[in-house]
């Protein structure tokens, strides 16, 4: 068995104590995924597993044997940035940049959830299609903190790309 990280099969760690976050950063030398709180409170370590956003700090790497993991390093198509990466630059969606990989992976996961109709705590009609208003995006992105205070730029970047895509 193996983990599939950004399309490449890699071995899981020998020690089951190793988190997916530490395995990515230290075992596989993919430092794009960031360690913030290491206790599930900040979202900096967000990655995609089979398309779903999760916190890699609370994930034991061995538990993800056989799963497809996508990190920030796996989003660009060669030199062509992912549309959300471009939007974060255009909308000043960061200052120090530490939370950015988690924010972008989280937003991609959020868009997939909205497309398949997952409601949020703000959703009025639980059976209706999802409209990603600014308030809905704020709620759905509340698991990703930005200490620089770039949240407005982050939400703008996501609205400019993801909201239009989900509405289409």
Query: Which residues sit at the interface with other proteins, rule CB under 8 A?
Result: 15-17, 19, 38-40, 43, 46, 52-55, 58-60, 62-63, 65, 106, 109-110, 113, 116-121, 123, 126-127, 138-140, 142-144
Looking at beta carbons only, is 10 or 145 nearer to other proteins?
145
CB of 74 to other proteins, least distance (A): 17
CB of 32 to other proteins, least distance (A): 17
Looking at beta carbons only, is 9 or 52 nearer to other proteins?
52
Looking at beta carbons only, is 39 or 77 nearer to other proteins?
39
CA distance 38 to 48: 17
Looking at beta carbons only, is 17 or 80 nearer to other proteins?
17
Looking at beta carbons only, is 92 or 147 nearer to other proteins?
147
How many Cβ atoms are within 10 Å of 12's Cβ, its own excluded?
20
CB of 23 to other proteins, least distance (A): 13
HEC assignment per residue over the chain: CCEEECCEEECCCCCCCCEHHHHHHHHCCCCCCCCCCCCCCCCCCEEEECCEEEEHHHCEHHHHCCCEEECHHHCCECCECCHHHHHHHHCCCCCCCCCHHHHHHHHHHHHHHHHCCCCCCCCCCCCCCCCCCHHHHHHHCCCCCCCCCCHHHHHHHHHHHHHHHHHC
CB of 11 to other proteins, least distance (A): 15
CB of 132 to other proteins, least distance (A): 13
How many Cβ atoms are within 10 Å of 79's Cβ, its own excluded?
5
């Amino acid at each position: 068995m193996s983990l599939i990280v950004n399309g490449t099969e890699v071995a899981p760690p020998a020690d089951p104590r190793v988190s997916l976050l530490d395995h990515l950063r230290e075992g596989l030398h993919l430092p794009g995924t960031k360690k913030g709180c290491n206790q599930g409170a900040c979202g900096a370590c967000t990655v995609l597993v089979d398309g779903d956003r999760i916190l890699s700090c609370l994930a034991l790497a061995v538990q993800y044997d056989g799963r497809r993991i996508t990190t920030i390093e796996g989003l660009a198509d060669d030199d062509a940035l992912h549309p959300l990466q471009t939007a974060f630059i255009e909308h000043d969606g960061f200052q120090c940049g530490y939370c950015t990989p988690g924010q972008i992976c989280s937003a991609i996961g959020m868009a997939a959830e909205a497309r398949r109709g997952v409601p949020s705590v703000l959703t009025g009609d639980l059976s209706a299609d999802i409209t990603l208003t600014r308030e809905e995006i704020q709620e759905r992105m509340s698991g990703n903190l930005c200490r620089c205070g770039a949240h407005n730029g982050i939400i703008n970047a996501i609205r400019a790309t993801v909201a239009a895509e989900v509405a289409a």
